[in-house]
C-alpha cells in the first residue's frame, strides 16, 4: 500500500466564502491545507467551488461562463472571497463579486479596496485542469492560445494587461477594416502602434513561458506520464517594429478579408509526443490525458517560484491507474502548490487523505469530513 505523503509547503488560500454562487447559497471553507479534497456525487457542487476559486485570477474562470450565469438560480448577484497567506503572516483578503444592480460588471477588492481584475494576478498564480480540457490538442487554435495565456499569466502577471490592451486594439482595427468607408490612415497608424507594442509583449511572454515549461518538462521522467514537446508557431513578427511594419503593409489584404490576419492572435501551439514523434492530436485519448497532466505538473512547479500558487484539478485522480495516481500525488507534493481536487469517492485519495483537508459536498452544502 502507498504511504501517506506529507507536505511542509505553506498553504495559499483559506477562509474561503461563496455567497449565492451557482448552487452554493452560503458556503465557507476554513482550515484549508496544502492538499484539499472535495468529495461528493456528480452535480453536488464540487466543480462550482473550483470555479469560484478560479475567479480569484484575471479572466473568466475555468468554465469561461458569462457573469449572468454565475449567481444562484433566480438571483443576480454573487460574491467569492478568500484569505491569501503571506510570508509575513498577515493574510491578504481577495474578493470578486457582482452586484444585483450591475449584473454584467465584475468587481474586485484587495483588502477591501477596489482593484482591477488584472491585479489579482499579482497576488496569486492559479492553474487548473478539468475534463473539458481533455480535447485541448484536437480543439481550436484559439483554445490552445488561451491555454498558453493562462500558463503565461501564472508566471508573468503583466501578461493580463498586455492581452487586454491588445484585444481592445484588435477589435478597433477589425472594425475599421470591415467598415464601409476607407479607414483613416492616421487612425490606423495609431491603432497599429498600440497593437505592435502590446503584441510584441504578448509574443515575448508566451515564448518565455513555452521555453520555461519545456525545460521543466525535460526534467520529468518519461514514465508514467507521456512527455509532450511544445512548439509555439508565431502568427506574425514577434519584434515591435517588425510587427508594426507587417500590419501597415497588410492593410489592403486585410481590408479585403475584413479582419487582422497578422499578430499573436494567430499564434498556434503545436504539441507532439516525445518518443513517438506523433502530433498530440493523433495520439490516443489516454496519451493525450497523460501529456496534459505532465504539462500541468511542469507548469505548477514553475508557478510556485514566484507568488503563492494554487492548482485546481477536477476529476483527475479517479481516471488514473494506481501507478499514475501515486506519481501524480508525489509530483504535486513536490511542486509546492496548494492543490484542490474533486472526486466522487475518497478511495482514490487514500495516499494523501491523512494529510489533506476533506469536505463532503452535497447539494451546494459543504461539511468537513
Query: Tens digit of pLDDT for each residue in 73-83?
Result: 999 999 999 99
| Total of domains in the chain | 1
Q: What gap in Å lies between CA 235 and CA 218, rounded to an integer?
A: 26
- Residue 11: which pLDDT band, with cuts at 50, 70 and 90? low
CATH assignment at residue 358: 3.40.50.300
Phi/psi of residue 38, nearest 5 degrees? -115, 110
Residue 228 lies in a domain: no
Query: Tens digit of pLDDT for each residue in 294-318?
Result: 999 999 999 988 789 999 999 999 8
Residue 92 lies in a domain: yes
Residue 279 lies in a domain: no
Residue 86 lies in a domain: yes
Cα–Cα distances (Å) from 258 to 172, 177, 243, in that order, read: 12, 5, 19
Query: Tens digit of pLDDT for each residue in 160-186?
Result: 999 999 999 999 999 999 999 999 999
The answer to whether the CB of 230 falls within 8 A of the CB of 216 is no
Query: Tens digit of pLDDT for each residue in 215-271?
Result: 999 998 888 889 999 999 999 999 999 999 999 999 999 999 999 999 999 999 999
Residue 75 lies in a domain: yes
The answer to whether the CB of 190 falls within 8 A of the CB of 184 is no
Q: Which residues constitute the domain of residue 108?
A: 1-124+308-369
Q: Is the pLDDT of residue 341 over 50?
A: yes
CA angle 199, 204, 208 (to 5 degrees): 150
Across the beta sheet with 268-273, the strand order is 228-233, 268-273, 278-279
Residue 78 lies in a domain: yes
The answer to whether the CB of 229 falls within 8 A of the CB of 279 is no
Is residue 224 exposed (0-12), middle (13-18) or buried (19+ Cβ within 10 Å)? middle
CA nearest neighbour of 356 among 38, 37, 12, 83: 37
Any idea how long the chain is? 369
Amino acid at each position: 500500500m502507498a504511504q501517506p505523503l506529507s507536505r511542509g509547503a505553506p498553504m495559499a488560500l483559506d477562509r474561503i466564502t461563496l455567497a449565492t454562487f451557482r448552487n452554493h447559497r452560503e458556503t465557507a471553507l476554513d482550515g484549508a491545507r496544502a492538499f484539499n479534497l472535495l468529495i461528493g456525487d456528480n452535480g453536488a457542487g464540487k466543480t462550482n467551488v473550483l470555479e469560484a476559486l478560479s475567479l480569484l485570477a484575471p479572466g473568466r474562470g475555468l468554465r469561461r461562463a458569462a457573469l449572468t450565469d454565475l449567481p444562484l438560480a433566480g438571483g443576480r448577484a454573487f460574491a467569492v472571497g478568500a484569505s491569501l497567506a503571506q510570508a509575513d503572516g498577515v493574510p491578504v483578503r481577495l474578493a470578486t463579486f457582482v452586484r444585483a444592480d450591475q449584473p454584467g460588471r465584475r468587481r474586485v477588492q484587495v483588502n477591501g479596496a477596489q482593484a482591477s481584475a488584472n491585479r489579482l494576478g499579482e497576488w496569486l498564480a492559479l492553474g487548473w485542469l478539468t475534463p473539458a480540457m481533455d480535447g485541448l490538442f484536437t480543439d481550436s487554435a484559439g483554445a490552445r492560445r488561451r491555454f498558453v495565456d493562462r500558463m503565461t499569466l501564472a508566471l508573468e502577471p503583466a501578461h493580463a494587461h498586455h492581452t487586454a490592451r491588445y484585444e481592445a486594439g484588435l477589435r478597433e482595427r477589425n472594425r475599421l477594416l470591415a467598415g464601409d468607408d476607407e479607414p483613416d490612415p492616421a487612425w490606423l497608424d495609431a491603432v497599429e502602434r498600440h497593437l505592435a507594442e502590446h503584441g510584441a509583449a504578448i509574443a515575448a511572454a508566451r515564448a518565455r513561458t513555452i521555453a520555461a515549461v519545456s525545460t521543466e518538462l525535460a526534467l520529468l521522467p518519461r514514465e508514467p506520464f507521456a512527455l509532450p514537446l511544445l512548439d509555439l508557431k508565431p502568427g506574425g513578427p514577434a519584434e515591435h517594429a517588425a510587427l508594426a511594419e507587417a500590419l501597415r503593409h497588410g492593410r489592403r489584404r486585410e481590408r479585403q478579408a475584413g479582419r487582422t490576419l497578422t499578430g499573436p492572435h494567430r499564434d498556434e501551439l503545436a504539441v507532439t509526443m516525445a518518443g513517438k514523434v506523433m502530433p498530440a492530436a493523433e495520439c490516443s485519448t489516454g496519451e493525450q490525458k497523460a501529456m496534459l497532466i505532465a504539462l500541468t505538473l511542469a507548469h505548477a512547479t514553475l508557478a510556485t517560484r514566484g507568488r503563492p500558487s494554487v492548482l485546481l484539478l477536477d476529476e483527475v485522480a479517479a481516471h488514473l491507474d494506481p501507478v499514475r495516481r501515486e506519481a501524480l500525488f508525489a509530483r504535486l507534493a513536490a511542486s509546492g502548490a496548494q492543490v484542490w481536487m474533486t472526486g466522487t469517492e475518497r478511495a482514490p485519495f487514500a495516499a494523501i487523505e491523512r494529510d489533506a483537508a476533506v469536505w463532503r459536498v452535497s447539494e451546494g452544502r459543504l461539511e468537513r469530513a
